[in-house]
Structure 1
Amino acid sequence: MGKSNLTRVLACLIACLIMVSMVVLPAQAEPLDTSAVSAVLIDAASGTILFEKNAHEKREPASITKIMTMLLALETIEQGRLQLDEEVVVSENAHREVDGDGSVVFLELGERRTVEELLIGIAVGSGNDACVAIAEHIAGSEAQFVELMNKRAQELGMTNTNIANVHGMPDPNHYTSAYDIALMCLEAIRFPQLLKYTSIYEYRYRDDPPLILWNTNKLLAWYEDVVDGLKTGWTTKAGYCLAATGQKNNFRLISVVLGCPVPRSHFQEAIKLLNYGFANYTSLLVADKGEVRATLPIVRGTKHELPLSCGRRLAVTVPKGEESNVTWELELSDDWLEAPVAQGTVLGKIIAKKDGQSVGLTELVATENVGRLGFGGLFRRVLTIWLAK
């Protein structure tokens, strides 16, 4: 090979190397390590697991248990069987917690507190006495309330959970898993009040003698622009635990870390998980709850057509850069309907897909009742149409 040819070949090779070096490869999520014994990170909109470590291992949850106590109270309010301003009289059993080893808000025997005040006492002060007081008020006894907690846990799919008390004090039969806690948190964040109460950092609970409650969830201060609620927990056996939720750009994540080894490590590990999720993933809204996405014509109905709305929020979580791989399809039960049609009747669905594979769906339901026209109504409709011509 001549000298000039060799020079040209070397120049081409150098040019190729420069071009290769300029190519930007797709971003890859960095491997994530955590000192938590078990952990999970999920997208709150879709329930997608973004990271997990021993997520189904049974562990003591300590005071994270209190999320379930608050959840049941708020569900009872939602059902109309309890009011936030309803007064609760503190029993001897609840007051007895003041002499125990757990955290309390120093409720006095016979003291009257509203349901909301007790919920704040649980959310901010982690009060075991407040847990017992509200449990007895709702179910008649702590034991009966624990039965309700276990029933609700099973309904939520918390298959590695058994609850022995309302506050999370150590008990061989009291356990759950990081994944089960995430399922519980998914349900809990449906209630704005729960996020409101668990995001309070400081609260004056009593004037005489003065009692200021301080939230043990330091992420409310350290990561205040993101984290807005849920609960810490600690016992010698459970280690340092935290269920935290936060959002950026309407993308909400739930992080659960259990068994962190040293003080404050649960905060550091939760921040690590949340930052990992926000840096590497995004959530695409396919359909919002209540959003009208289709209409169907109705034969012999009091209305000509019926709007169909989404039964629940449907979102898909994907690694950043893969947003274009998400599509959706609309499926309707029929081309038309015959009256009557009841509100809430399922008449179709929206299916979300990623790379052509189904990753979620929401049902489309009738937005209202549509009655059937009798002979008189049908005659008037025909006459109106005829006169309009």
Structure 2
Amino acid sequence: MAYSSLGVPERAHAPDHERPLGTMRIIPANQHPLESDRVTSPSGGVKPLSGPTIYIGLTGAAVKRGLQLALVLVLATGSAAATVVGSPVVAAGASGDLVKGFTPGELDIPQQAMPEVTAKAGLLASGDGAILWSRKADQKRAMASITKIMTAVVALEESDLDEKVEVPRSSSFVGESTAYLKPGDTLTMRDLLAALLVKSGNDAAIAVAEHVAGSEDAFVAKMNAKAAELGLTNTRFANAHGLDEPGHRTTASDLSVLARYAMANPEFRRIVGAKEVKIKVDGRTETLENTNLLIGNYRGVSGIKTGFTDDAGYCVIDSAERDGVALYAVILGTKGELQRFRDARELLDWGFAHYRPQQLASTGTIIGESPVTDYLDLTVPAAVNEDARIPVLDVLGPITRTVTMTTVDAPVKKGERIGVATFTQRGEVIATVPLVATEDVAEPNPVQKVGIAIVRGWRRLTGAE
């Protein structure tokens, strides 16, 4: 069995068609019709759809791979000092886990198919902010050095990356995590932010704060103002570095918002995505290795930050992107230093297995028809106007496609919008697609109009209409 540099057995990534979970089946309507797949006609009637019916969900027994996790302690030289192997323990609070706001029981998901995470709180969010999995996501907790995400955000927005910063004497009094900066050292704000985010230096945090705002207190006020601007209602900063302090609190939900905001900044993303960085301090070059061990060791990983204090426990936020799907794993309060990375990897693996792009509709596909009022029994076909390919969380169950058509008056132009297809899952609209006429329909000529009027009159008299 191959092991990653984290000491975790590498999981085999089966081809999509071999995966027991997260599979998409396209089932012809005449083989497996869904009662929920319907077309709403202008008169309010319901008629079956022709063509494919989309069903997304579990296609086999959900078998959780039993993996033993290996903890590898590596000395500064890089040689393996010891290896301890044990099975991960699922946290006692796992019964409170939610998938998109639902309990596993409500979705008929066996516990074995849920992610095995030991953190006291956390969540998995998509790149657009959808919460896919959560545990005590709104519980206020200490955040340790994850604080420095906001420290960097404020610095990036209120300073120039090329301006010179002199490290103040006060930076040497903080202690704990350090980038080994000395009072009087001079470096650019760009390099100082690397010392802050990659090495997680508390000394760098003080240097940033005092340079930007004149004092740490003034800088913290800016941090809290930014938190309010971002809608982080359960977050309050008491310092710029993250050491335990009364009132210094956040939640997993707030941190996911902050992380996505920070990662939208190209410079922030560049820094936290680097396995190591070189900075220049007073002309000398220093090499800093990232404290986030998933960087360079997990496919698609892009950031972002670690943290630890006695109150917070071991924490990490990790982001990754595959096949156009971005995920953010927030892990707060594991008991072991490497366990936070195992938890983050577990959440990301689970997310990429179950939250994947699915083709809901393809341009040009005819999925409805609209009656033309000027004629007796003429309808104009309606086709999908644009592709609908979006990430779908398969464990939420089947997707319903509802097609709503409007009556139209001639003349009808090809490409004219005449309906809409709505896709819902668990009662939530996940996509809407416009439907357009596939052909022109001319207005009836005078002779046709007379004939149509006669037939309609006859139908009314005989009750045929």
Report the alpha carbon displacement of residue 326 of structure 1 after superposing the two structures with TM: 7.4
Task: Check conservation: 1:41, 1:50, Cα contact below 8 A.
Answer: yes
Alignment of 1:160-199 (within 5 A): 160-199=234-273
Matched, 1:58 2:128: no
Report the alpha carbon displacement of residue 214 of structure 1 after superposing the two structures with TM: 1.4
The equivalent residue for 1:89 is 166
Q: Deviations over 1:31-72 (max 9, x none)?
A: 223100001000012x11110001111111100000111111
Q: Counterparts of 1:195 and 1:205 in 2: how far apart (Å)?
A: 17
Report the AA paired with residue 274 of structure 1: L
Q: Percent identity?
A: 35
Matched, 1:205 2:279: yes
Report the AA paired with residue 168 of structure 1: G
Q: Counterparts of 1:86 and 1:351 in 2: how far apart (Å)?
A: 53
Q: Counterparts of 1:34 and 1:315 in 2: how far apart (Å)?
A: 30
Match of 1:151 among 203, 222, 225: 225
The equivalent residue for 1:354 is 424
The equivalent residue for 2:131 is 49
The equivalent residue for 1:261 is 335
Report the alpha carbon displacement of residue 110 of structure 1 after superposing the two structures with TM: 2.5
Match of 1:113 among 174, 187, 191: 187
CA change 1:351–1:88 in 2 (3 A) is farther
The two structures have a TM-score, normalised by structure 2, of 0.55
Report the alpha carbon displacement of residue 192 of structure 1 after superposing the two structures with TM: 1.8
Report the alpha carbon displacement of residue 315 of structure 1 after superposing the two structures with TM: 9.1
Task: Check conservation: 2:354, 2:393, Cα contact below 8 A.
Answer: yes
Report the alpha carbon displacement of residue 106 of structure 1 after superposing the two structures with TM: 2.3
Specify the SS of the correspondent of 2:175: coil
CA change 1:283–1:117 in 2 (3 A) is same
Matched, 1:142 2:216: yes
Task: Check conservation: 1:353, 1:360, Cα contact below 8 A.
Answer: yes
Report the alpha carbon displacement of residue 272 of structure 1 after superposing the two structures with TM: 0.2
The two structures have a TM-score, normalised by structure 1, of 0.65
Report the AA paired with residue 124 of structure 2: L
Matched, 1:214 2:289: yes
CA change 1:168–1:352 in 2 (3 A) is farther
Q: Counterparts of 1:73 and 1:359 in 2: how far apart (Å)?
A: 37
CA change 1:139–1:267 in 2 (3 A) is same
Task: Check conservation: 2:325, 2:391, Cα contact below 8 A.
Answer: no
Report the alpha carbon displacement of residue 136 of structure 1 after superposing the two structures with TM: 1.7
Task: Check conservation: 2:116, 2:343, Cα contact below 8 A.
Answer: no
In the alignment, structure 1 segments of 5+ residues that lack a partner are 1-23, 77-81, 287-313, 330-349, 362-389
Matched, 1:235 2:318: no
CA change 1:209–1:188 in 2 (3 A) is closer
The equivalent residue for 1:380 is none
Report the AA paired with residue 212 of structure 1: T
Q: Counterparts of 2:123 and 2:143 in 1: how far apart (Å)?
A: 14
Q: Deviations over 1:260-290 (max 9, x none)?
A: 011200000000000000000125799xxxx
Task: Check conservation: 1:284, 1:323, Cα contact below 8 A.
Answer: no
Task: Check conservation: 2:197, 2:305, Cα contact below 8 A.
Answer: yes
Task: Check conservation: 2:164, 2:186, Cα contact below 8 A.
Answer: yes
Task: Check conservation: 2:58, 2:394, Cα contact below 8 A.
Answer: no
Report the AA paired with residue 354 of structure 1: T
Alignment of 1:112-131 (within 5 A): 112-131=186-205
The equivalent residue for 1:31 is 114
The equivalent residue for 1:343 is none
Specify the SS of the correspondent of 1:354: strand
Task: Check conservation: 1:61, 1:175, Cα contact below 8 A.
Answer: yes
Specify the SS of the correspondent of 2:240: coil
Task: Check conservation: 1:37, 1:53, Cα contact below 8 A.
Answer: yes
Task: Check conservation: 1:43, 1:317, Cα contact below 8 A.
Answer: no
Match of 2:326 among 252, 261, 266: 252
Specify the SS of the correspondent of 2:207: helix
Q: Counterparts of 1:87 and 1:135 in 2: how far apart (Å)?
A: 14
Report the alpha carbon displacement of residue 252 of structure 1 after superposing the two structures with TM: 0.4
The equivalent residue for 1:40 is 123
Q: Deviations over 1:167-212 (max 9, x none)?
A: 1011121111111111101111111211210122223335887743
Task: Check conservation: 2:359, 2:389, Cα contact below 8 A.
Answer: yes
Report the alpha carbon displacement of residue 73 of structure 1 after superposing the two structures with TM: 1.8
Q: Counterparts of 2:398 and 2:149 in 1: how far apart (Å)?
A: 34
Task: Check conservation: 1:316, 1:352, Cα contact below 8 A.
Answer: no
CA change 1:278–1:326 in 2 (3 A) is farther
Q: Counterparts of 1:316 and 1:161 in 2: how far apart (Å)?
A: 32
Q: Counterparts of 1:67 and 1:221 in 2: how far apart (Å)?
A: 20
Higher helix share: 1
Specify the SS of the correspondent of 1:203: strand
Report the AA paired with residue 123 of structure 2: V
